[in-house]
Amino acid sequence: MRVVLSCLIATLLPATTSLCAQQPDPFRWMDFHSQKDQDVVVWVTQALADKRWTAIREIGVEYDAALVVTTLRATPQAPANADTFTVWSVSLTNHSHAPLLTGVNLRWLDWMRFAKDAPLEPAAFYDNCSGCAADTYFTAFHYDISQHGWAARWMRGGQAVPVWSANPPAGAAWTQVYAGISEQDGRQLLGTWSRFEYGKHKPPEEFVYLYDLDPLSGLERTQQLSGKKAEAMKERLCRAQDAVPGLARGQDSPLCQQIVKPRYERKPVTTPPANNHGQSVPPGSRH
């Protein structure tokens, strides 16, 4: 049996409740219990009628498109935390729709702004599996005015930005650090740092990435940093002074602690004292 879930079910969907309280204009989450939103709920339900889903979890509307989250439960007896979700873009002018991404354990974050003076965007974490050693991804959803629909940011190969993994590589010590960072001009970005140490077998490898929007074109960028830019980003990630709430992890790793609290070793004093005139006499020698 298919059901529709409301933004008001705080006990079941606490993350959704916070979303309802902070939706920016002109975006609005639908209230499934409100009569004024029933036309949108019915429209979306009909548009997705031929797709596989057990429940509609959320519907958000901006202009002429709806951002929709559906969940699929394998069996009625399956636990809720094993549900698979799909995020859709559904047109409100014709019943066209497109899946944006699929995963499990969708967790909404604070709204984020990736370009100066641009609209806020709903951001989220999600995993690739449940009851397993999961990989965690980050993305944000934005209304694409040229396509009259919604899109997910930094998608590649069906997944968004990889930020954490519970699958360490064999034979290597893996340090993971990430943070969402707020810039002084109001825009935000995401940085990640992975370091692989192989002991005496081979030199360590590290990868520092920056995910943001190009200020001139507004297009999404994925940059691998090196040199001074990589070192500066590692320090920002470890200090996390301007981190987006809920979007930071790995700052307690030994590598980060070395950056934040470098250990100074006391060096031996090799300079002679000020009153030393080079006239000392070894013990037992004649004067």
Residue at 126 is within a domain: yes
Q: How confident is the model at residue 171 (pLDDT cuts 50, 70, 90)?
A: confident
Q: How confident is the model at residue 269 (pLDDT cuts 50, 70, 90)?
A: low
Boundary-marking domain end, from 166, 197, 219: 166
Q: Model's pTM, two decimal places?
A: 0.84
Number of structural domains found in the chain: 2
User: Which of the pair, 60 or 14, is modelled with greater confidence?
Assistant: 60
Look at residue 17 and tell me whether its pLDDT is greater than 70.
Answer: no
Would you list the DSSP string of 144-168? ETTTTEEEETT-BTTB-EEEEES-P
Q: Give per-residue pLDDT as tens, 118-130.
A: 999 999 999 999 9
Q: Are residues 206 and 117 in the same domain?
A: no
Residue at 133 is within a domain: yes
Residue at 269 is within a domain: no
Residue at 153 is within a domain: yes
Q: Give the span between the Cα atoms of 57 and 107, in whole angstroms.
A: 12
Q: Residue 280: what pLDDT?
A: 53
Expressed as residue numbers, the domain containing 239 is: 168-263
Q: Are residues 16 and 117 in the same domain?
A: yes
Q: Are residues 138 and 181 in the same domain?
A: no
